Each structure stands twice: as structure tokens, then as C-alpha cells.
Amino acid sequence: MVRPFSIRRRFLGDQGGFTLPELLVAMTMMVTVLFALYSIFDMSVRIFTSGKDELKAVEETRLGLEKMEREIRAAYPRDDGTLISVAGEREITFQNRPDSGPPETITYDLSSGSSSYLRRNGQRVVGPLDGADGLLFAYCTSAADCSSTISEEAGIKLVRMTLNASVPGPTDATQTLTTDVYLRNREARQ
């Protein structure tokens, strides 16, 4: 028969535990694993932030392009019959007729300087864009025939707009968005 007193004495007398070298090895392994986990976490946060910045830049550019597309599609002829008064490679000026009040003249162009921005009547809309090539317009008779420039305003049936968004980050990438806008009021007049 085993006496409870002798069992307790045996457990109390057993002074076995971890030695100092065992504790140092265990702590070193634990610190190594924690640093590895931290570096994985840090890398994932950086990738998420970079992806979020790219998504934000592209989304803002897309929204600016859609606004410009709506307004150009609704361009209204001036008294002299011209639909687009300035048809430049980096600038467009046209007129819209609001529901009430006088017609509104709208100019889309690119700001100058180290960071270029899409501007609407001088007010910043989207940016930063990719330098001087951040905003490009091409004026075409159709989507298939958009290679040569049209000198006669009345021949313009379609405006091809290209925005090159500058995506911030370690690589400073550029995202290109292009859309074609058929001039609705040009087709209605003819």
C-alpha cells in the first residue's frame, strides 16, 4: 500500500525542471518564430496598402472619365452650329444647355506642372495623371476610323478620350483608361 505522505514527499523532493540552456534555446526559437510572423504580417499590410492605393487611383480616374463622357455626349450646338469649339489633343471645349438658365461652356484640360491633373473649367477633377500624356483626345468619324485627325469640326462624330492615371507606389505604375463618346446631338441634327 502506498502512503499519501510518501507520494507527496516524492513530488516535493523532485526538483527537476528546465535548465538555463534549455530556456535560452526555447526563447531563441520563440523570438525567431515571432519575427517571421511579424515580417509576414508587415508584408501583407504593405501589399494591401499598395493594392488599395492603386484601386483608389484607378477608381477616381474611372469616375472622372465617366463624368467627362456624360458631359461630352450631351454637348449642345452653339448658335453658329459648332458642337465642339476647341478640339485639341489635350483640351476640349463645348457647351451644355442646363434645364434652366444660360448655356454652360465646359473646358476639360490638363494642368501644367510636376503633377498633372484633369481639370474642368480650371477646377481639379482627377489626378495625378501621367505627365503631358495624362489626357489625350482624338476626334474621329467612327470607331474604326480614328487614326487621322479631323480638321473640320462638322466631321467629328466620335471623341476618343484616354486618361493615363499615375498609380503611386514603389513601382510608380500607369493605368490607361480609354472610352469612345458618340456625339448624340451631332447625330440628331443631321
Q: What is the pLDDT of residues 70-124, one digit of tens each?
A: 888 888 887 777 788 887 888 888 888 777 778 888 888 888 766 788 888 888 8
Task: Give the tens place of pLDDT for each residue, 9-23.
Answer: 666 656 667 888 889
How many angstroms separate the Cα of 64 from the Cα of each of 71, 125, 127, 188? 11, 6, 9, 26
182 located within any domain: yes
Query: In this predicted model, which residue has the larger pLDDT, 104 or 166?
Result: 104
CB 107 within 8 A of CB 93: yes
If one counts the domains in the chain, the total is 1
For position 190, what pLDDT does the model report? 43
Q: Read off the DSSP letter of residue 16.
A: -
Residue ranges making up the domain that contains 82: 36-189
The string of pLDDT tens digits covering residues 23-60 is 999 999 999 999 999 999 988 888 777 677 777 777 88
Per-residue DSSP letter, 101: S
Distance CA 48, CA 72 (A): 36
Number of CB atoms found within 10 A of residue 147's CB: 7
Asked if residue 12 belongs to a domain, the reply is no
Question: Distance between CA atoms of 155 and 140, rounded to whole angstroms?
Answer: 8
